[in-house]
Amino acid sequence: MNWNDIDRMFHRAFRFCFSKKKLLFTYPLVASCGIFINLFRILSIGAGDWVKLSLGFFPIFVTASLLLSAGIVLTRAYHNEVKGVAFSFRDLSKKSWNLMVAAAYLTLPLSMAYVMFLTVIGFFYVLKEIPLVGVLMSLLLSFVPFLLVLSIIVLILVNVLVLFFVTPAIALRSECSLDLFLRIARSIKERVLTHVALLSLALISVSAVLGVLYLAGHVTASTYMIGEGILPKLAQSLVTSLAFSALCTPLVIFFFNFAAESYVLLRRSVGASSI
């Protein structure tokens, strides 16, 4: 693997992220995720700390599961595009349905772990409100909520790893099993720097554009408010998210295109033939 290989991969992944069929297939999903995230963000306004924490993280796990299912179809579509094979998303979705359901089940433990961590954190929020001893106990045990929040963030990072490295493996191998997850985990452990470099290149590219879009959205929301109530804010946020999602759609496609390219490159590399 050299820079020319990565440059070629990046260029091809970028070139195929503006396919009309793929944009039409992906946009409804991205728009739904955007509306879902914005709805929870608006609902968290004025809520308690624990509720804000819950509403802030929960949409991420739901969105990750939806993107994993869509990523399987997008990866197969990209594989056909590169090979010059005609395809339809209806056929690909039908053929990928069992894999999509199996992938959702295999990622369920991540969501369950999140719920468990969140429940334990809730106990500490309740403990904090106990008169007299609550403040002292919360102070002495404050490192526990910190570790729990850190664990939730680690779960989010694991979701990102699954989206980038597991999705193309499921799609191109037509296999979704615990053994596949373990093989990919071993491959990452054996070649940490290579995997981190490929994932970082994808994330930096996507995050740079997302940062610009978020900045534009933040400035718009702070300078062009229709009203001060919850409903006007929710309505404006949801309408704006439709345009935001349209601009994010090529980024989602590029992410999975580059993930597929990275998977093929890693399989061809020495020591990665087992994934």
Q: Does residue 274 sit within a domain?
A: no
Q: What is the pLDDT of residues 117-169, one digit of tens each?
A: 999 988 888 887 777 777 777 778 778 888 999 999 999 999 999 999 999 99
* Structural domain that includes position 206: 20-268
As given in the structure block, the two tokens for residue 202 are: 């994808």
Residue 1 lies in a domain: no
In a domain, 147, yes or no: yes
- Domain membership of residue 31 (yes or no) is yes
- Winning range, highest mean pLDDT, from 49-58, 84-93, 253-262: 253-262
Q: How many CA atoms lie within 13 A of 95 on its CB side?
A: 18
Q: Give the C-alpha distances (Å, rounded to integers) separating 187 from 88, 162, 190, 206, 262.
A: 33, 13, 5, 24, 13
Region 67-83 average pLDDT: 92
pTM assigned to the model: 0.88
57 within some domain: yes
Q: Confidence class of residue 266 from pLDDT cuts 50, 70 and 90?
A: confident
- 4 inside domain: no
pLDDT, tens digit (0-9, with 9 covering 90-100), for 162-206: 999 999 999 998 888 888 888 898 888 888 998 999 999 999 999
Q: Within a domain: residue 53?
A: yes
Q: Assess if residue 11 is contained within a domain.
A: no
Q: How confident is the model at residue 43 (pLDDT cuts 50, 70, 90)?
A: confident
Contact 148, 163 (CB under 8 A): no
Distance CA 167, CA 184 (A): 11
Domain count, the chain: 1
**3-state SS record for the chain:** CCHHHHHHHHHHHHHHHHCHHHHHHHHHHHHHHHHHHHHHHHHCCCCCHHHHHHHHHHHHHHHHHHHHHHHHHHHHHHHHHHHCCCCCHHHHHHHHHHHHHHHHHHCHHHHHHHHHHHHHHHHHHHHHCCCCHHHHHHHHCCHHHHHHHHHHHHHHHHHHHHHHHHHHHHHHHCCCCHHHHHHHHHHHHHCHHHHHHHHHHHHHHHHHHHHHHHHHHHHHHHHCCCCCCHHHHHHHHHHHHHHHHHHHHHHHHHHHHHHHHHHHHHHHCCCCCCC
pLDDT at 68: 92
Q: pLDDT by residue (tens digit) across 205-257?
A: 999 999 998 898 888 777 776 666 667 777 777 888 888 999 999 999 999 99
How far, rounded to the nearest angstrom, does the alpha carbon of residue 197 sit from its chain's CA centroid? 18
Overall average pLDDT of the 17-44 stretch: 88
